[in-house]
Structure 1
Amino acid sequence: MAKLDPLLLDPTRLAIVSLLAAAEWAEFGFVRDSVQLSDSALSKQATTLSKNEYVEVRKGYVGKRPRTWLNLTDAGRSNLAEHISALQAIAEKARSDGAQQPRDPSVP
């Protein structure tokens, strides 16, 4: 059975990783705006994800302007898939357990 990933229990990190799963490289500003974070909050989360090898960070320039791009690593992608699988298993178990519970006729 798949296990929940402690790093992805944080909703902000889960949102970032989920967004990056749909892209090869995403510009920092796009990620920031999509997950509705401040620059500093995204920077902190990106550092945490990078230190744990979920995300790659690339810095460069577009013209003379500095830019930062984020990419989900293969390990990050695999961890996200396992985390989602664990969430689905929990939901399925709750659904099947709920179906087996006797219904109280006095509750609408």
Structure 2
Amino acid sequence: MTDPAGFDPVIHAPVRLRLCAALEPVREVEFGTLVELLGLSKSALSKHVSVLTDVGYVTQRRAVRDTRQRVWLSLTGTGRDAYQGHVTALREIVGG
């Protein structure tokens, strides 16, 4: 998916870039927290998560908490590498 310079068109979409940025510094984040943090509807976030999951950048863990089914998201090693490579490519594009 990435070109030799590290630019990744899958991650580059603004919502997916923000999603990866939110997941990169942590082990995992609960789906509902990301809905609030990113200011998205559940369905909009779900669509972007599906794209990232389909290419192997994000994993989902489902579990029951407080008697409700919850979903936690995390970047895979591949996703973390792709995100960091994309950020590096963006920095090179803007000259910094």
By the TM > 0.5 criterion, same fold? yes
Alignment partners' CA distance in 2, 1:76 and 1:88: 18
Task: Name the SS for the 1:60 alignment partner.
Answer: strand
Q: Which residue of 2 aligns with 1:43?
A: 46
Over aligned residues, Cα RMSD in angstroms?
Answer: 1.3
Question: Is the 2:61–2:73 contact (alpha carbons within 8 Å) kept by the matching residues of 1?
Answer: yes
| Count of residue pairs brought into register by the alignment | 93
Alignment partners' CA distance in 1, 2:5 and 2:23: 21
Alpha-carbon distance, 1:55 to partner:
0.3
Question: Is the 2:35–2:45 contact (alpha carbons within 8 Å) kept by the matching residues of 1?
Answer: yes
Q: Which has more radius of gyration? A: 1
Alignment partners' CA distance in 2, 1:52 and 1:3: 15
Alignment partners' CA distance in 1, 2:24 and 2:9: 18
Alignment partners' CA distance in 2, 1:39 and 1:3: 30
Stretches (4+) displaced over 6 A: none
| Alignment gaps of 5+ in structure 1 | 96-108
After TM superposition, the score normalised by the length of structure 1 is: 0.81
Task: Name the SS for the 2:59 alignment partner.
Answer: strand
Percent of aligned positions with the same letter in both sequences? 35
After TM superposition, the score normalised by the length of structure 2 is: 0.91
Alpha-carbon distance, 1:22 to partner:
1.4
